[in-house]
Structure 1
Amino acid sequence: MKKKIQFSLLYRDMWQSSGKFQPRKDQLERIAPVIIEMGCFARVETNGGAFEQVNLLAGENPNDAVRAFCKPFNEVGIKTHMLDRGLNALRMYPVPDDVRQLMYKVKHAQGTDITRIFDGLNDIRNIAPSIQWAKEAGMTPQGALCITTSPVHTLEYYSRLADEEIAAGAEEICLKDMAGIGQPAFLGQLTKMIKTNHPDILIEYHGHSGPGLSMASMLEVCENGADIIDTAIEPLSWGKVHPDVISVQSMLKHAGFEVPEINMDAYMEARALTQEFIDDWLGYFINPQNKFMSSLLLGCGLPGGMMGSMMADLGGIQSVINNLKKKKGEPELTTDDMLVKLFDEVAYVWPRVGYPPLVTPFSQYVKNIALFNLLTLEQGKGRYVMMDDSVWGMILGKSGKVPGELAPEIVELAKAQGREFTDADPHTLIPNALDDFRKEMDDNGWDYGQDDEELFELAMHPEQYRNYKSGQAKKNFLADLQKAKDAKLGAQVSLEEAAAFKHAKADAIVAPVKGQLFWEFQGDAEAAPAVEPFIGKAYKEGDAFCFIQAPWGEFVEVPAALGGKLVEINAKQGSKVNKGEVIAYIEREHKD
């Protein structure tokens, strides 16, 4: 018999790759004993990534949920692990060193054993400090390699990164195949290289089902020395998620590996409970398209977990583009037409911005560049017109070094806009922040919580935590849930039916991110917003039109396109807007 293979259940990622929210604390407490009873899992992913953030958005304390979910696994010796975005920790933008360091102390105290540390650029400078802090806090640091397929992502590239992570103190290596586009033979060779160089290092494979390669990849990595395979369970397995543990177990068992047996009674109970959670409320936030696999993902390399939000974004842009085409007397584009165009544009943009591995947040950045390029190309403005500071941060080196070379057109555009490139260590660019958050806790009379976990939550997700404490998050969530229920019942009209007639010579001002809209600010984005602009107000090219506070707290400036006269407003002060939604129309001055 071949070597022993262990399984990990990606219960958190199953939900994140399917929809918006995670199960509540009481639901996690119900499912944990059943997962244990299945008897086949050596590990369970309990938290990390967006888990804490989305719990806050639902008005629930995530610290209570993490402790409750981890406890039964801790008691029986099943290892718990979390997803950790390195420089970005648990959010979409960089986190100060002192907040990152606190995270490991808090998460270890809450019962999380292993942290999977990845960086969207595979920059060791963003990973090494997290490895050190995790070890100091008593956690097992697992260094991740973000897998993608490009001319610069060679076997030698990944083998060298594994060497660097292990030298920095990583005790395990994860092949993080977040889009499922890693080629099986390549992954097998890479596993063998790492095992040859580091025979005592445990290797875990994480591959999404999206384009359909992950089962073959699992067999290849196991044949070449992998130790643990990440899996899912029905009704959330397959699609854009992960292969089901039953299929993985069967495949490896028949290939001669030693694998654990599955208690099928417990599996069916876990399956039924998960479906109950979907039917209860979580299903209202799950995009049905995420249940389907798609070979198209091989061409663009985008992670399957992004497909739900991407299709929503695409729908908003599609309606704007089709409106423009209608005015020009051109045939409108179907959703399939738009999807192919978007994937083609991603393929065009990706090498030109240096082949960043398409994982959070850089997958979103590349997709956003491509998506808005489709709009601005249709408007006759060319490419790269609507890139925000986060996207530029990736390009300029503020988030780390992109693996490939930037195209001359990108470098020239940066110089033309007076932007400066940097090769500084990214975490040195961010000042510490805990003292300010301690003061806020003290001023509000808020308790720091067990093991400083409430202080950590405020520091990691400031805006969401404040909304949680005020009760506003729960109100917003209940309103969103009712809206989702109404939409499912057909009580709301579709986006197409709701779209109003737009002015023939006007440019659409489109929300670059989802969030809360604010008009001009007095002084800065934290100050009280001014009144809504008036119809007829004139703007110059490059003027700030409005600001959107993204779900992660950042204020994103929305430019006034190429300038002109404001002719229509579609959103009110403080309203919630979706990415790709038209905020207003500005009519340019046309000279015949």
Structure 2
Amino acid sequence: MIRKLLIRDLTLRDGQQSAFATRMSQKQIDRVLPFYKEAGFYAMEIWGGAVPDSIMRYLEEDPWERLEKIKVAVGDASKLAALSRGRNLFGYNPYPDKLIKGFCRNSIESGLDIMRIFDALNDVENIKSTVRYVKRFGGMADCAVCYTIDPYHSAVERIVAALHGHPLHKPVFTNEYFLNKALQMVALGADMITIKDMSGLIPPGRSAEMVRLFKKHLKVPVDFHTHCTPGYGLASVLAAIVNGVDIVDTNIWYFAGGTAAPAVELVYVFCKKMGIELDINMEAIARINAHLLDIRKELSAFDMAKQLPKPFNPLTDRIPNEIDRFFNDAIDAARKDKEDDLLLFCRAIEEYFDFPEPDELVKKAQIPGGMYTNMVAQLKQLGQSDLLEKAMSLIPRVRMDAGLPPLVTPTSQIIGAQAVSCALDQLKGRPMYSNPSNQFIALVKGEYGKTPVPVDPEFRLKITGSRDEVPYDPSDYEMQENPLVEEMETRLAENEKEILLLELFPMMAHNFLSKKKHVHVTT
């Protein structure tokens, strides 16, 4: 029996968000949609994440219209998918069930098929409501386990900590930890489980172990998602495929590699050699790619890599023998769990095609690329760029103090900003945490959910004024003000969809709706 591998295309959401700061306009998307209808991807991720905020903020476009227009163009040819941050939805704060319910219902009514749901703390309680409502309204719940790693501590740091009576913790983020989270999600009703490596930090050996473990114990399909930033992406995707993963996330050629996911064209070459059927139309994908080249040039001001890969169409272009041999050697290394060889061969393939080199700073720092660039920008703004190394060195301590949260939006930004603040405290001779941010206080208090490691009550007292954990209380939520429009006898947000935008993105939605309707509002 021929094995089939499903492909989730990320190009129109995570791809353009990772590589081009979510600046792809509806007009640009419209140019490729006819070919997407023919491409035959299992799913297309096109919404959620930063899209609703960014397209209002920068493009003055309606997020609901984007979803609805793509649905009209693609129909049922591919499932449409979105990314949700669980109780945080597409924003950065926890929201009550009535808003989660409204977003899920309107998303599915507007054409969404799959909601990928994750929580920044891997707190399964925080995804319960979204899973329930997505399934109630006829969607599929794709529950994502956020991959992260334990902080690195040198042998000297471990000895010093032990001598002071504060031995460093044993590893928390084991394969069993991730499997346990996945099993809890399946018990909630997850229709599939995604291993979500938002930072590209999962090496191929770990990818292989986790896929084998998940396939052994889970009765639902397993999806693998990673990025290429530190150089593991292609090798880790190949390791996942060799070890039986059901779905992999990819981008189309000119939107692939670098800070984004690996290219579907390279996955196609690997799968053809292994006799794995992808069931996608590579001719249609090549037509999409021709338009993506033009669109990438149009987005050059936001291009993270500034480096185009060589043109390549696996249906028509011959791969030189020495490079073709690297594909065969990579497959052999993946099958034999030879991680170093696998990385070597995949990197050689990427070099040949001129994909960006691994980001060694991100690899060494073991933090997401976006978190690193945010810290650099924050210090530059403060005129303290020389403090970067010190701030980076404080991340493990700040993270441990806060309960060891995974580093993914929004916790990555919270920890990074607080590490910068602590570095400034030390520079000025003040105690660390002299200026905790409101978000850091909320994290330590417990408002974002349960952290992987309990926060020390004495530290919580220092930061929040109380030893007690205080979880998020939805009864305290106050709806945003919906101002009166002067020229019309109505409110700025006239329907449920507009009200939902106003709730999640108060300033952005206020500005967007005002410009859209060409109105002045009064409070």
Bin the TM-score by the shorter chain. Answer: 0.7 to 0.9
TM-score of the pair, normalised by structure 2: 0.78
Alpha-carbon distance in structure 1 between the residues aligned to 2:491 and 2:425: 49
Supply the RMSD in Å over aligned alpha carbons: 3.0
Q: Amino acid of the residue matched to residue 267 of structure 2?
A: V
Q: 1:124, 1:161 within 8 Å by CA — same for their partners in 2?
A: yes
What's the offset of the Cα at 1:233?
Answer: 2.0
Matched position secondary structure for 1:161: helix
- 2:41 counterpart letter in structure 1: F
Partner of 2:229: 210
1:283 aligns to what? 300
Q: Deviation of residue 193 (structure 1)?
A: 2.6
Amino acid at match of 2:129: P
CA contact (8 A) 1:188 1:217 kept: yes
C-alpha deviations, 1:500-550, integer Å up to 9, x for none?
Answer: xxxxxxxxxxxxxxxxxxxxxxxxxxx99xxxxxxxxxxxxxxxxxxxxxx
**Which position in structure 1 is the counterpart of 2:501?**
457
CA 1:155/1:466 → structure 2, altered by over 3 Å: closer, same or farther? same
For 1:297, the aligned partner's letter is V
Q: 1:197 to 1:287 in 2, by over 3 A?
A: closer
Distance 1:274 1:189, change over 3 A: same
Matches within 5 A, 1:8-47: 8-10=8-10, 11-37=12-38, 39=39, 41-47=41-47
Q: Which residue of structure 1 lines up, in the alignment, with residue 175 of structure 2? A: 155
| Per-residue deviation, 1:138 | 1.1
Match in the other structure for 1:62: 63
Any conservation in 2 of the 1:46–1:66 contact (CA below 8 Å)? Answer: yes
Residue type at the aligned position of 1:242:
A
Q: Counterpart in 2 of 1:270? A: 288
Please tell me whether the aligned partners of residues 121 and 451 of structure 2 are also in contact (alpha carbons under 8 angstroms). yes
In the superposition, relative to structure 1, how do residues 250 and 57 fare at CA in structure 2: closer, same or farther (>3 Å)? same
Q: Secondary structure at the match of 2:222?
A: strand
- 1:461 and 1:211, CA in 2 relative to 1: closer, same or farther beyond 3 A? same
Within a 5 Å distance, the mapping from 1:302-313 to structure 2 comes to 302-313=367-378
SS in 2 for 1:205: strand
Q: Which residue of 2 aligns with 1:296?
A: 361
Superposed CA offset, 1:82-123 (max 9, x none) = 000001001111122211110011100111100000000000
Unaligned stretches of 5+ residues in structure 1: 322-332, 475-526, 529-592
**AA aligned opposite 1:108:** I
Residue 174, structure 1, aligned to residue 194, structure 2:
yes
Question: Retained in 1: the 8 A contact 2:40–2:77?
Answer: no
CA distance 1:97–1:437, change in 2 (3 Å): farther
2:375/2:420 contact within 8 Å kept: no
Measured at CA, do residues 243 and 418 of structure 1 come closer, stay the same or move farther in structure 2, by a change above 3 Å?
closer
Summarize the Cα distance change of 1:375–1:447 in structure 2 as closer, same or farther, 3 Å threshold.
closer
Q: Tell me, yes or no, if the aligned pair for 1:8 and 1:43 is still in contact at 8 Å.
A: yes
Range moving further from structure 2, 95-104 or 296-305: 296-305
- State the partner residue of 2:109: 109
Greater strand content: 1
Offset at residue 430 of structure 1 (A)? 5.0
Residue 419 in structure 1 maps to residue 430 in structure 2? no
> Would you say 1:320 and 2:369 are equivalent positions?
no
Does the CA contact (< 8 Å) of 2:81 and 2:115 recur in 1? yes
- Aligned mates of 2:484, 2:366 — CA distance in 1: 42
Secondary structure of the 2:270 match is helix
User: d(CA) in 1 for partners of 2:281 and 2:120?
Assistant: 35
Q: Give 2:445's aligned residue.
A: 396
What are the ranges of 5 or more consecutive residues in structure 2 without an aligned counterpart? 151-170, 308-355
Distance of 1:79 and 1:472 partners within structure 2: 30
Mapped to 2, the partners of 1:153 and 1:417 lie a distance apart of: 26
Q: Please state if 1:99 is matched with 2:163.
A: no
CA distance in 2, matches of 1:129, 1:345: 35
Larger proportion of helix: 2
Matches within 5 A, 1:478-557: none
Query: 1:308 deviation in Å?
Result: 4.4
Which residue is equivalent to 2:336?
A: none
CA apart distance, 1:57:
0.8
- Aligned 8 A contact 1:414 1:420 in 2: yes
Shift of 1:313: 2.6
8 Å Cα contact 2:101-2:130 kept in structure 1 = yes
Q: How many residues align?
A: 449
Write out per-residue CA displacement over residues 336-387 of structure 1, whole angstroms, 9 at most, x where no aligned residue.
xx55444333234323322211111001111111222232322222422332
The offset of 1:66, in angstroms, is: 1.5
What is the CA-CA distance between 1:312 and the residue it aligns to? 2.5
Name the amino acid aligned to 1:125: E
Verify: 1:192 aligned to 2:238, yes or no. no
Q: Alpha-carbon deviation of 1:221?
A: 2.2
Letter in 2 for 1:217: S
2:4 equivalent to 1:4: yes
- 1:270: how far off? 2.6
Alignment of 1:243-258 (within 5 A): 243-258=262-277
Task: Give 1:141 shift.
Answer: 0.7
Distance 1:368 1:350 in 2: 11
Q: Secondary structure at the match of 1:132?
A: helix
What percentage of residue pairs aligned between the two structures are identical? Answer: 26
